[in-house]
Amino acid sequence: MASKIGKILVVDDNLGIRRTLEILLPMHFAQVKTISSPSTLVSSLEQFGPDVVLLDMNFKTSINTGNEGLYWTGEIKKMMPLVEVVLFTAYADIALAVEGMKRGAFDFIVKPWENEKLIEVLSAAREKAIKAKGRGKERAAPSSPTLSSAMFWGSSAAMAAIRKTVEKIAPTDATVLITGENGTGKDMLANYIHAHSRRSTKPMVAVDAGAITETLFESELFGHVKGAFTDAHTEHIGKFEQANGGTLFLDEIGNIPLHLQAKLLRAIQNRSIVKVGGSQIIPVDIRLICATNMNLEALVIEGKFREDLYYRINTMHISLPTLRERCEDIVPLAELFMAQYGAKYHRTINKIAPQAEEIMKNCRWSGNIRQLQNCIEKAVILSESDCLTEKELQLETIERSVAANVRAFSEAEDEELVRQAMQRTGGNISAAAKLLGVSRPTLYAKLKKFGL
């Protein structure tokens, strides 16, 4: 009989399954280690150095989204790209397991399993891992984003409808406009669309359009030739050309000054650019995705955004809901961030206190998912046990400050509070809205009402 080779790490919270595999797998592999929770996965990977990880997709009896399995698949592949991941899933989660394979998993096994099939899949994964290690080649992590940077769809009806739309448009080259408040995940959705498009093997170039100074706008987007201006010591390739063959993501497009919008429209319409200081017309093959937290239709009416540009970028429009509009996703998202930062900071945290969960559901979360993520990261750092409570989460402080702003704003029927907020923020609508604890459209309506 051939000598047994390969190291298998099993991650499953079911004691019966772990005991069974501790008997079965050593008959076929040199070393087998089982752990009950991904909270010790990082240290196990470092100490045990497996060839294959057999990873359960769910670790909480009350939550069966499979997102933990997807998240940890991505983390394993980022940390040790030569390690193969086999997902352990229930029959109902096969679609999620297939999604896991898109994110780098080798294969999946459906529970209850057949021993022969399980050994066959693990052996194939082992062979692939050992051969890759033997060649000594550093294999890049999969191009598809992991849940650290990808969409979390959750279970809300609003996100289910959006996902259905996105699945239809992602494989096409249709231009997409994504709108929504700050922190709702517009950049994540843009990444998801690119990752599920026919251009996924090509670059996605992201540009914060609102952060580009007017003097460098053309140079940044279209590039410049050597000697085009005083500091142009070398030729520069612009974002359009960098994204050639892939996707160009223009974030905060509503912040582009009106007089520069015509130049952007020309490049989008003609799918060609001319570098600053140059004369050659350079064709570019891009898929365009834009995002903004502004009400572009209102800006068009006011003459602050070109109507022709608006219709050019608005082939498909997706409006992301706020976190307070998808309350059922707050706790699952928090648990996902808890797992992420628990691994990052080497903290063993398994749950959120029930009382804290209830408070979280009732928080306004004016900063949306980004605010929730920041809250959980700080709580993980401050935690002194395996359970996050209101103390670490500081939810009362968050809710009290936001409620005070909202209450003050709603009681102000004169324009003084609005004027003060605009003065304090130098006329920055986003900052003023954040100060008042309201959305940009709400503040925009107030400004219009008061003629400010």
CATH number at residue 211: 3.40.50.300
pLDDT (average), residues 226-245: 87
Does residue 18 form part of some domain? yes
Judge whether 333 and 152 are in contact, CB under 8 Å.
yes
CATH of residue 130's domain is 3.40.50.2300
Examine residue 370 and state whether it is found in any structural domain, yes or no: yes
Residue 406 above 50 pLDDT? no
Report the pLDDT value the prediction gives residue 411, as an integer from 0 to 100.
Answer: 41
Residues 314, 353: one domain?
no
Of 284, 319, 354, which residue sits at a domain end?
Answer: 319
Place 169 in a pLDDT band, splitting at 50, 70 and 90. very high
Question: Does the residue 1 lie in any domain?
Answer: no
Mean pLDDT across the chain: 83
Does residue 296 sit in the same domain as residue 347? Answer: no
Structure token digits, residue 366:
């004016």
Nearest to 173 by CA among 265, 263, 64, 246: 246
Same domain, yes or no, for 349 and 284? no
280: how many CB neighbours lie within 10 A of its CB?
9
Is 375 contained in some domain?
A: yes
Residue 405: pLDDT over 60: no
Q: If you average pLDDT over residues 394-398, what whole number do you get? A: 65
Confidence of residue 245 (pLDDT cuts 50, 70, 90): very high
In a domain, 404, yes or no: no
Q: What average pLDDT does range 397-417 have in this prediction?
A: 48
Q: Which of the two residues, 227 and 431, has the higher pLDDT score?
A: 227
Q: Give 268's contacts (C-beta < 8 A, 6+ positions apart).
A: 175, 288, 309, 312, 313
Q: What percent of the chain has pLDDT over 90?
A: 39
Same domain, yes or no: 330 and 314: no
Cα-Cα-Cα-Cα dihedral sign, residues 310, 313, 316, 319: negative
Instruction: Sort strands 387-388 and 351-352 into parallel, antiparallel or unpaired.
Output: parallel
| Nearest residue to 76 via CA among 56, 98, 96 | 56
* Higher local confidence (pLDDT), 230 or 111: 111
Give the domain range for residue 191: 157-319
Taking residue 401's Cβ as centre, other Cβ atoms within 10 Å add up to: 12
**Cα gap 269→313, rounded to integer Å:** 10
68 phi, psi to nearest 5 deg: -65, -45
Map tokens 């769910």 to a residue.
Answer: 58
Quote the number of domains for the chain: 4
| Assigned token pair, 158 | 């609003």
Indicate if 206 and 247 belong to the same structural domain.
Answer: yes
Domain-located, residue 2: no
Q: What is the CATH number of the domain that holds 332?
A: 1.10.8.60
Report yes or no on 406 lying in a domain: no
> Is residue 224, in this structure, part of any structural domain at all?
yes
Distance from C-alpha of 363 to C-alpha of 46, rounded to nearest angstrom: 38
Domain check: are 279 and 236 in the same one?
yes
pLDDT for 291 equals 96
Whether 147 has a pLDDT exceeding 80, the answer reads no
pLDDT (tens digit, 9 = 90+) per residue, 189-201?
999 899 889 998 8
Across 157-161, 231-235, 363-367, 414-418, least confident range: 414-418
Are 179 and 302 part of one and the same domain? yes
341 lies in the same domain as 427: no
Closest CA to 239 of 256, 224, 221: 221
Measured between alpha carbons, how far is 11 from 393 in angstroms, rounded to an integer? 28
Separation between Cα atoms, residue 116 and residue 144, nearest integer Å: 31
Domain C-terminal end among 135, 166, 181: 135
Joined tokens for residue 128: 């692939």
Highest mean pLDDT among 31-40, 248-257, 431-440: 248-257
Tokens standing for residue 124: 């194939």
- Domain at 422, CATH number: 1.10.10
Adjacency order of strands within the sheet including 204-208:
204-208, 247-251, 287-292, 176-179, 316-319
Domain boundary among 266, 291, 319: 319
Residue 107 in this model has a pLDDT that exceeds 50: yes
Asked if 303 and 206 sit in the same domain, the reply is: yes
Signed CA dihedral, 40, 43, 44, 50: sign only? positive
Closest by CA position to 351, among listed 10, 13, 11, 89? 13
- Classified as helix, coil or strand, 385 is coil
Rounded average pLDDT over 395-408:
48
What sections of 154-278 are H helices per DSSP?
157-169, 186-195, 217-222, 239-242, 258-270
Q: How many residues does the chain have?
A: 452
What number is the average pLDDT over the span 3-28?
A: 91
CA distance linking residue 384 with residue 225, whole number of Å: 57
335 and 220 in a common domain: no
Do residue 101 and residue 20 come from a single domain? Answer: yes
Cβ atoms of 381 and 374 within 8 Å: the answer is: no
94 with 165, same domain? no
pTM: 0.61
pLDDT at 1: 43
